[in-house]
Amino acid sequence: MSANLIALLYEATLQTLYMVAASTVLGTLFGLPLGVFLAVSQRGELLSAPWLNKVLGLVVNATRSVPFIILVVAIIPLTRAIVGTSIGTDAAIVPLTLAAIPFIARLVENAIREVDAGLIEAARAMGATPMQIIAKVLIREARPAIALGLTLAVVSLIGYSAMVGAVGGEGLGDLGIRYGYQRFMPEVMLAVVVVLIVLVQLVQSIGEWIAARFDKRVPRNRGH
């Protein structure tokens, strides 16, 4: 591969990292509290609001059921309204974020629901308020599962970021399509695939390490 293509691969990798990082932060910012609320708002639970829970659940399910490539095209007017264009890395962050929010919300909801109900009852018996239980019991105990869930979300966003290259986004997907496919340069396509695999493996390793640090059940290696 020429030095020019290596430079293009480097630039495309940075663009992908930017898109994934921005959409992960924004998706978590909205998806985490949404997931917590979905987990504690059914009838008889800490923040009982069954009708709102049902409505939000339907919205989350509807958004998750739309294939990502269709979502990208469907929200082009919204993307233009937010960033002023429908192409490029900034534009790609909009559909990536909208795809991440419901995905993260469901992962967080499942993580919260896995917390032992006995811990909630114990906190109630000690006079803890619902918000104290959510913050100091549910979220604290669910941190390992939430970390693994966010890791899965980031891995999915890496794949989605490659897909936006087909509809005007930049990054590794765009590089693979323009050079590897349209210009019949299989070495570029191979390089893109290798970089994506490395990114996924790196994210997975970091996520598992963070989850292990949070998990009180995993003994720390103290050496000999």
**pLDDT computed for residue 222 by the predictor:** 44
**pLDDT computed for residue 103 by the predictor:** 95
Q: State both tokens at 54.
A: 């049902």
**pLDDT computed for residue 1 by the predictor:** 57
Tokens 């932060």 label which residue? 25
| φ/ψ of residue 131, rounded to 5 | -65, -35
Nearest to 99 by CA among 42, 160, 18: 160
- For the segment 92-133, what is each residue's pLDDT rounded down to a tens digit? 999 999 999 999 999 999 999 998 888 888 988 888 888 999
The answer to whether domain 3-214 has CATH 1.10.268.10 is: no
> Domain locations in the chain?
3-214
Q: Could you tell me if 173 and 199 are in contact, meaning their C-beta atoms sit under 8 angstroms apart?
A: no
Q: Could you tell me if 3 and 14 are in contact, meaning their C-beta atoms sit under 8 angstroms apart?
A: no
Nearest to 104 by CA among 30, 166, 168: 30
Which amino acid, 40?
Answer: V
Rounded CA-CA distance 14/17 in Å is 5
**Regions of the chain where pLDDT drops below 70:** 1, 217-224
